[in-house]
Amino acid sequence: MTHVARSAHVDTFTKENLPPRAQWPEFLFDLPELAYPSTLNCATELLDRHVEAGTGEKRCIVTDRETWTYNDLLTKANEVAHALIEEMGLVPGNRVLLRGPNNPWLVASWFGVVKAGGVAVTTMPLLRKGELETMVEIADVTMAICDHRFIEELDAAAPDGFQIFTYGGPEQDDLIKVAASKRSKFKNVATAADDVCMLAFTSGTTGKPKATMHFHRDVLAIADTFARHVLRPTPDDLFAASPPLAFTFGLGQSVVFPMRAGAAVYLLEQPSPPRLLEAVERHGVTVLATAPTGYRAMVPDLRAANLKSLRACVSAGETLPKATWQAVHDACGLRVIDGIGSTEMLHIFISAAGEDIRAGSTGRAVPGYVAQVQDPDGRPVPDGELGRLAVKGPTGCRYLRGDRQTTYVQGGWNVTGDVYVRDADGYFHYQARADDMIISAGYNIAGPEVEEALLRHPAVAEAAVIGAPDAERGMIVKAVVVLQPGADLGPEPAKTLQDFVKSQIAPYKYPRAIEFADALPRTATGKLQRFRLRATS
């Protein structure tokens, strides 16, 4: 990476809002496969390359209703790129918000944006108006592509002049109809390898989301490290995964990894554990990815299931309990691949597969990455001692506008906020989160954001949100609420507040347990003492 190509971005917002280079982590490109050219559009490598190589008729995306080949996806992505440029006036560097469940047209839209030199901002379809408004403001988004079934909240959040293409609906200006009128050939914008191609949002402990910035080379790097060396995909693989494409875990497993290998992906809009198991049996899924919660839910059905096609199961999003790993192994003989990744790092950087797996351990640093357990001053601690996890590799944290950059990046290391122990064989063992983030069933939920939603209810005087241990979900969101004097929430006060929170923010963030109290524990200066609440949970 000695020569840096000139940026292709006409809209220079992302370039101007990268954190100062002195605050970037140290990047490592030690593997030969990470030596990318200075001019690089990741869509070319993930999609166009296969058609140019003569394998365009190979299946690419499978659903219960249809199958798209690589030719099909390339044609539709090219048409989307033309539609964005010709109908919306997109120029390279513009941010485009994507909203919808995992389906072929969401994938085509993602590729269309990237091919045109845009910056994809993929969001959860469950997000509400206020959450979308925040993302639009932070990323300075002016246009969007949205599944027509999820337009209401986005319409409500859209500022003046905001342009939206819906897809899948009956309107004449629906993206699918407009795209069909466009040319099927498109010359991908010659972006620089270090042009931003996607923004991924993550919630911090303050509850305000942060946008992580990822380059074209970063997208390929996660495939050329974790996927290549741990999953080892082949063109014959069929991937399936539960996480939405808005999660970088989901983007990797359902788009980047299969398409880097010329393989296929099965997409499911509502990927419940039973539906995923059904997909394995019906379609011959070979690589499955979901959260530990999903694997726990599958255990009773694994013995009777036909899993002969399945060669790899990936777990991420939260720590994989040893008991869950063992229960899956006992039921069907599969050895679940655990891994830790982060939105800041784009995907998994510690893992192990096959006979290298040790139940209860996350694994070892993925080839291309190095990891340490450090003391608070950044010095490595001896094996067997607790410390903070720090990592370096070909990907790393760059927050939009440098927001809280120096918290995550220290001394060239990405400091993840996890407490770990490394053993003498180099295996890393997760201990706890070092902050107030609640990880429930694979979702990252910031307690202060839930508190804010509760406080919007006129009956709530104070609210504190913590994570409480839960056998099924790992943790659940628990709220301790102080009501206004004389407040009446009806016969089921907890349910009233739970329903209210679901109307304010994404439903998966709602408090599954609510306790009512006369007062919250605070210091003499009024600071909330969450540790006292956790001690009683």
Per-residue pLDDT tens over the stretch 115-134: 999 999 999 998 999 999 99
Q: What's the whole-number mean pLDDT along residues 379-402?
A: 95
pLDDT of residue 123: 96
Nearest CA-CA partner of 289 in 243, 354, 251: 243
pLDDT of residue 363: 96
Banded model confidence at residue 468, pLDDT cuts 50, 70, 90 = very high
CB 488 within 8 A of CB 496: no
pLDDT of residue 354: 92
Which position has the higher pLDDT, 288 or 386? Answer: 288
Average pLDDT of the chain, as a whole number = 93
Distance CA 26, CA 22 (A): 10
Each residue's pLDDT tens digit, 296-338: 889 999 999 999 999 999 998 777 888 889 999 999 999 999 9
pLDDT of residue 3: 53
| CA dist list (Å): 224 to 22, 142, 230 | 26, 33, 10
pLDDT of residue 314: 97
pLDDT of residue 525: 43
Does the pLDDT of residue 2 top 50, yes or no? Answer: no
The CATH number of 437-535 is: 3.30.300.30
Each residue's pLDDT tens digit, 410-431: 999 999 998 899 999 999 998 8
Stretch among 200-204, 255-259, 468-472 having the lowest mean pLDDT: 200-204
Each residue's pLDDT tens digit, 228-270: 999 999 999 999 999 999 999 999 999 999 999 999 999 999 9
Does the pLDDT of residue 439 top 50, yes or no? Answer: yes
- Residue for token pair 């290549």: 228
Banded model confidence at residue 435, pLDDT cuts 50, 70, 90 = low
Cα angle, residue 302 at apex, residues 301 and 307 outer, rounded to 5°: 130
Q: What's the whole-number mean pLDDT along residues 262-282?
A: 95
Phi (first) and psi of residue 473, to 5 degrees: -105, 0
Does the pLDDT of residue 205 top 50, yes or no? Answer: no
Q: What's the whole-number mean pLDDT along residues 150-175?
A: 97
pLDDT of residue 321: 81
pLDDT of residue 409: 97
Does the pLDDT of residue 524 top 50, yes or no? Answer: no
pTM over 0.75: yes
The domain spans of the chain are 437-535
Question: Which string of b and e fits 171-202 if b means at least 16 CB within 10 Å?
Answer: eeebbbebbeebeeebebbebbbbbbbbbbbb
Sequence-distant (6+) residues with CB within 8 A of 379 are none
Each residue's pLDDT tens digit, 99-109: 999 999 999 99
Does the pLDDT of residue 376 top 60, yes or no? Answer: yes
For residue 6, give the 3-state DSSP assignment. Answer: coil
Each residue's pLDDT tens digit, 23-49: 999 999 999 999 999 999 999 999 999
Q: What totals of helices (H) and strands (E) does the chain contain, helices first?
A: 18, 25
Q: What's the whole-number mean pLDDT along residues 156-178?
A: 97
